[in-house]
Chain A
Amino acid sequence: MKVKVLFFGVLAEVTGTNFKHFRDVKSIGDLKLRIQDDFPEVVHYNYRISLNNEIINNDPKLKDGDEVALMPPFAGG
C-alpha cells in the first residue's frame, strides 16, 4: 500500500519537497515516525495533519491511496 504525504508552507521549504510517497504505513502515528526519520527537521515545527482533506486529531488507520497533508498554521486572507 502507498500513501501520499503533502508538505505545505515552511514544511515544504525545510523538507525540500512538496510531497513524498510512503509505503506500508499502518496508521498516522506510524507515518509520523517514518516522516521524522526522513525529515528530522519537521519536529521543530507546529503543524496539523489532514487525511483526505479532513483535519484529524486521532490516530486513524491508513489505506492505499490515502492523502495526508502536514499543515503549519494557516495564514490566508
Chain B
Amino acid sequence: MVTNYLINGPITQKVISCFLEKMGEKTDSGGHSVFLGQVRADEINGKKVTAIEYSAYEGMVMVEADKIKATILSEFEDAKSIDIVHSTGIVKAGELSLFVLVSAGHRHQAIHACSKTVELIKEKLPVWKKEIFDDDSHEWKR
C-alpha cells in the first residue's frame, strides 16, 4: 500500500496498474509519461549488487514530494497531475523502486515534466540506498 509517496518493498505491476487505470479519468490530458526506476545488478570491485535497501525520512519525504509537485505544475503550464511512488526496504535487482507518472495536455510537456520530476526526486527526496552484494557485504551509495 502506498502511504505518503512511499511503499515498503518493490513497486509491483499491481501498484502501477492502479495508477494507469486512473489515467482515463484525466480527460483534459492528451499525454502521460511514465518513468520506472529499477535496481540494477551493478558489478563493483568484483562483487555484484543483488539488492538495494532503501531508507527514508518519511515526514520530510511528504514535504519535499509536495514541493516537487508544486514546482513541476508551476514550471510546466500544461502539466495536469504528477504521481510519485518510491520504495523503502529491500528491492532486489530487476525489481522496481521508483514510479513517476506525469499527465499533461500534450506530449512534449508530459515527457519533459516527467524527466524534470525524476531529477528533482534524485536531488531533493530524503532517501538513502544501501547496496547489498552477492557476498552479503554492503555499501552505502552516494
Q: Which A residues have a C-beta under 8 Å from some C-beta of B?
A: 6, 8-10, 12-13, 50, 53-54, 67, 69, 71-77
Contacts and interface: CB of A to CB of B under 8 A. Distances in A.
B127 interface: yes
Contacts of B57: 6, 8, 50, 53, 69, 71
B108 interface: no
Interface of B: 37, 54-57, 59-60, 63, 86, 98, 118, 121-130, 140-142
What is the predominant secondary structure among interface residues of chain B facing chain A? mixed
A8 B121 contact: no
B63 A53 contact: yes
A77 B118 contact: yes
Contacts of B124: 74
